[in-house]
Structures are given as C-alpha cells and as structure tokens.
Amino acid sequence: MQELLGRLGALDSDVAQGLRVIACFDELIVGNVNTRALLSAAAALAGCPVGFLQTVPARQMRVDPHGGLLPDATPPHDGVVEADGQSVWLEREGSESANDRIILERLAMALRVRHGRSRAELDRRDMVVLLDGTAPLDVRRQAAGRLGLRIDVSYRVVVAPLFASWRHHPAVPEDVVPSSYGPLHVLVVPAGSEGCDAQPSGTGTAGCPETLSRSYRAAVVALLLWDDSCTRTSEADRFGGVLEMLLELAEESVLPDVERVSQIAGLPWGPTTLEAVVQSGSVRQAARLADVHHSTMQARIDTMIERLGFDPLEGYGRARLGVAWLVWRLRNSRVLELPTPGLEVVRAADS
C-alpha cells in the first residue's frame, strides 16, 4: 500500500490521499476501535463533522473534527451513505472534497465490521479514562483491567496520527483518543516488547498502568519532535530529563531564549544549523553535520551568538540553546499535518 501510494502520488495527489484514507481505516479495523473512534477518524480526515444513524437498536451520534460529541440532528437529504440499517454522512459547508465519498464508504464499511462482531459497544472509553490523569486512581485501574493490562507489568503508550504509515502493528489495546491536537491513534505496548513501527509516531516513557497518563503525554511530545532521523518511532527516552521539563512547561509560557531562537530559525540556514549545533560539541563537528565548511559554520555561530546573547557551545549556553530549540520545535511542529504525497515521493527519490 505504501509503495503504491508513493507511485500514484507522483501522478495524482487526490488518488494518493484516497489511499491514505483506505490505509487509515484498515488500521482502525484491525485495532477494533469503537464507533466514536471511527467517527472521530472520519471527521478528522474530512475536516468537518460526521454523523451516524442506526435503526436497530436505535442510535445516533455526531462528532466534530476534534473528536467531540455534537447534539443529535436530522441527517441531510443528500450525500448519505446507507447500508445494513446504518447511515453515515459528512456535514460539510461548501463544495464537496475530492475524497469525501471514499471517506464515507470506508467509514460505512468499518462500522459494519465493528457492529458485525457481536461485541458489546462500550460507552466507557476505557483508553480515554486510562490516560486521563485527573480521573480517580481506582477508576483508571478498573479501565486498565478491562483493557487486559496487568498491574505488575510495565507499559509504554504509543501515539500516531491517523495517516501514519505502519510497518509493524502489534495486537495490543488501542483506540482513537481525542486530544488538543485532534484525534490520535493510541496504543499501549509492553515496555520490553518490540513496540510499534509507524511513521510518524511517538513512544512514551515506561510505567505501570496507573501512571500511563504521563507516558501518554510524553508520547505526544515525542511525536511532535519526530523527524526524518527517527527510523522507527520518536522515543521519549531519547530526551531524558529535558522531556520531563517540557511536560511541565505551559504552552503559553513566554521564554526569551525561544523568541531569540525563533529569529534564527527564520533565516534560510537557521533550522539546519541550530540542529547541528545542538547535536555537536565543536564548530567542526557542527559543520560536518550541516555539510558546510567550518568557516561557514563559524560565521553562522557568530551570528547566533550576536542574536542569542550567549555562546551556544560553552557552559550553560549549550543547555539553554538545547531547551529553547526543543521548545521552538514543539510549538512549530507540523508532524500532525497531512503530508503532501508529491513531497514524500521527492524525499524518497533523494534518499
């Protein structure tokens, strides 16, 4: 599927995006996620509310693109896909998108599979409860038990966008969970296991079931820091104690170092040079990482010193730059934006 997507993306981006929709629902069907999760995925992919109506037993649900529930409403007259006593529709304002039809068709199929398994629909979203750090401890423990998690085993939370490319999908508890970034595909894997191979994705810190809310938060941060250097997943452990600090940092915090780094990141050579300096211990090493002459790197570092007000290669300046760079990356991450298929083909051809 991924190879086909790449080939077709070079010819027709709409076709490639359609294949992404198919791949997304295939993964959700494998994960046996519930009705609300399927609707959340469809709404996120379509960028508009999605509705569901079932005749027997009577049930209706509407979900917005962020995964939130909406009040019941009468289905529209046009654009409704009906099958086996179930109806689904998109509530889009304006003209129809190229992939609206395929989103509805795959959603309808996934719902038929879901309700055809004779498995009771859980009104409790056990995964959501488990990952909610504000929920009472006994409630989280009960949710963990229903998900089949053992209190004496250590686990990690893995998060991925709905359009992620999967190479290894383990049979573990999973669901689509609403977040401030929109619906996320969430899995809980044993800490000592091979884990997941999904790009992009983030893997949180290890912990017992009752502490997985923190692993989830760490996994989201790791996902936002995912880049092309991550061969399988972006691991929270890679960032050590810095990640713990990032978890406690308020999103709206005003940090002068971050504002100065933002100015440098706006330069044509900024992001590449900032990453190289953070990852290196000398001018020459940074030059090698950025693939420039050391004199060019020295000139860039001189500019950085002037704008930062400190030397990023000496003393606490290294830590200040490292933290400010990670915060800037978090606040400017585009990893959750649906990638343009054509750009993926170009990257693959260049590698």
Segment 197-220, tens digit of pLDDT: 888 999 999 999 999 999 999 999
Q: Which pLDDT does position 184 carry in this prediction? A: 87
- Residue 344 falls inside a structural domain: no
- Give residue 61's pLDDT: 95
Spatial neighbors of 264 by CB under 8 A, at least 6 apart, are 270, 273, 274, 303, 304, 307, 308
Give residue 6's pLDDT band: very low, low, confident or very high (50, 70, 90). very low
Residues 68, 138 within the same domain = no
Band of residue 16 on the pLDDT scale cut at 50, 70, 90: low
Please check whether residues 267 and 183 belong to one and the same domain.
no
CB atoms near residue 246 (< 10 Å): 20
Asked whether residue 142 is domain-assigned, the answer is: yes
Residues 102 and 160 placed together within one structural domain of the fold: no
Which band of pLDDT confidence, cut at 50, 70 and 90, is reported for residue 77? confident
270 in the same domain as 234 = no
The pLDDT value recorded for residue 24 is 81
Q: Read off the pLDDT band of 348 (50, 70, 90).
A: very low
> Among the three residues 228, 248, 268, which one is the final residue of a domain in this structure?
248
pLDDT of residue 116: 64
Does one domain contain both 56 and 6?
A: yes
In the chain, where do the E strands start and end?
50-54, 59-63, 69-70, 81-83, 86-90, 155-160, 165-168, 174-177, 184-190, 197-199, 202-203, 234-235
In the predicted structure, residue 350 carries a pLDDT above the cut 60: no
Domain count, the chain: 3
Q: What is the mean pLDDT of the chain?
A: 83
Using the predicted structure, report yes or no on whether residue 270 has a pLDDT greater than 90.
no
Q: Are residues 33 and 86 in the same domain?
A: yes
Q: Decide if 336 is inside a domain.
A: no
Interatomic CA distance for residues 159 and 220, integer angstroms: 6
Range of 103's domain? 2-115
Residues 156 and 200 in one domain: yes
The reply to whether 265 and 220 lie within a common domain is: no
Residue 48 located in a structural domain: yes
Q: Could you tell me if residue 338 is inside a domain?
A: no
> Mean pLDDT lowest for which of 20-29, 79-88, 293-302, 337-346?
337-346
Beta 234-235 vs 202-203: how paired, if at all?
parallel
Examine residue 208 and state whether it is found in any structural domain, yes or no. Answer: yes
* C-alpha span between 182 and 47 (Å, rounded): 10
**Same structural domain, 108 and 188:** no
- pLDDT at position 329 is 92
In a domain, 51, yes or no: yes
Interacting residues of 171 by C-beta distance below 8 A, sequence separation 6+: none
Assess whether pLDDT exceeds 60 at residue 11.
no
pLDDT of residue 115: 77
In whole angstroms, give the CA distance from residue 285 to residue 289: 6
Say if pTM beats, i.e. exceeds, 0.75. Answer: no
Average pLDDT over residues 310-338: 89
Secondary structure in 3-state letters for 286-326: HHHHHCCCHHHHHHHHHHHHHHHCCCCCCCHHHHHHHHHHH
State how far the alpha carbon of 258 is from the alpha carbons of 27, 58, 302, 315, 328, in Å: 38, 53, 18, 18, 6
- pLDDT at position 212: 96
Whether residue 340 is contained in a domain is answered as no
The per-residue pLDDT for range 116-127, each reduced to its tens digit, is: 633 444 444 789
Q: Give the pLDDT score at 4.
A: 41
> What confidence score (pLDDT) does residue 32 get?
74
Q: Are residues 265 and 242 located together in one domain of the fold?
A: no
Among candidates 84, 25, 29, which has minimal Cα distance to 50? 25
pLDDT surpassing 50 at residue 160: yes
Based on the fold, state whether residues 92 and 165 are members of the same structural domain. Answer: no
Query: Same domain, yes or no, for 197 and 102?
Result: no
